[in-house]
Amino acid sequence: AQSVSQHNHHVILSEAASLELGCNYSYGGTVNLFWYVQYPGQHLQLLLKYFSGDPLVKGIKGFEAEFIKSKFSFNLRKPSVQWSDTAEYFCAVNGGSQGNLIFGKGTKLSVKP
Amino acid sequence: NAGVMQNPRHLVRRRGQEARLRCSPVKGHSHVYWYRQLPEEGLKFMVYLQKENIIDESGMPKERFSAEFPKEGPSILRIQQVVRGDSAAYFCASSPPPTRRETQYFGPGTRLLVL
């Protein structure tokens, strides 16, 4: 069965600090990978996605993620966070013939001004 | 901006009552997914529907829960005889016919509280 692990439950950073959120998945076949963000009181929005090709994916708001197939990882990064990045971040995977997404438990990011 | 619409946004029910959650997909999207988010948990897949057809309901609890996506109108997630453990945020997502490359677009969710 597919699963997604997000290592950090809650991350607290100061503005301008660099961010890396871990995501590992378990699935042996071809996968599509996603990062979603949920700002307080809002719905999930897509940050970025990987289907194939260049394993370094750039998304909105300065976020990027790197797919490392050998490590089954898809970590999210941002060089310099802002207070407005305070949100919960979800990694998700879609693999095989399934239409549905498998989500990690999420990482809450708090950025101190 | 006709994104995924869900209503109501908040729903309070007493134990034993019925809850009906509605989802209108993005215009032109023919596939709908329902997910449930329990406190401190990620989203868990419940059911995947096409117009008038359930594609995958492997994540649905065996009893009290049902879903439909009629030819006309929104998709409905129905929970009969609610219990406190049903309290959660229920999210709907829609996509065009999936080729495994299509992104799912999420609605704002319905927060169900069972008293």
Which of B104, B105, B110, B111 should we substitute to test contact with A (largest number of A Cβ atoms within 10 Å)?
B104
Radius of gyration of chain B (CA): 13
Could you tell me the two tokens for A4?
């997604």
The answer to whether A54 and A1 have CB atoms below 8 angstroms apart is no
CA–CA min distance B33, chain A (Å): 7
CB contact under 8 A, A103 and B108: no
Indicate whether A97 pLDDT > 70: no
Write out chain B residues lying below 8 Å of A51, CB-based: 101
> Which tens digit of pLDDT belongs to each residue from B13-71?
999 999 999 999 998 888 999 999 988 788 999 999 998 999 999 999 989 999 999 99
> Which tens digit of pLDDT belongs to each residue from A20-76?
999 999 977 788 899 999 998 888 999 999 988 999 999 999 999 999 999 999 999
- pLDDT for the residue B2: 66
- pLDDT for the residue A100: 84
Q: Which B positions 19-48 lie with beta carbon below 8 A of chain A?
A: 31, 33, 35, 40-45, 48
> Which tens digit of pLDDT belongs to each residue from A100-111?
899 999 999 999
The answer to whether B75 and B81 have CB atoms below 8 angstroms apart is no
Could you tell me the two tokens for B18?
């019925």
Q: Which residues on neighbouring strands pair with residue B65, listed in sequence order?
A: B79
Q: What is the average pLDDT score of chain B?
A: 92
Indicate whether B97 pLDDT > 60: yes
CA–CA min distance A8, chain B (Å): 13
User: By the CB < 8 Å criterion, does A98 face chain B?
Assistant: yes
Residue identified by tokens 């609605």 is B107
- pLDDT for the residue B99: 66
Indicate whether A1 pLDDT > 80: no
Amino acid symbol at A30: T
Q: How many residues does chain B have?
A: 115
Indicate whether B1 pLDDT > 70: no
CB contact under 8 A, B109 and A104: no
DSSP class per residue in chain A: --EEE-S-SEEEEETT--EEE--EEE-SS-EEEEEEEE-TTS-EEEEEEE-SS-SEEE-GGG-EEEEEGGGTEEEEEESS--GGG-EEEEEEEEETT--S-EE---EEEEEE-
Q: Which of B45, B106, B108 sits opposite A100 (nearest CB)?
A: B45
Please tell me the distance from the alpha carbon of residue B21 to that of residue B31, in angstroms, as a whole number.
17
Average pLDDT score over residue span A6-24? 95
For chain A, the 3-state helix, strand and coil shares in percent, each to the nearest 5, are 10, 55, 40
Indicate whether B81 pLDDT > 60: yes
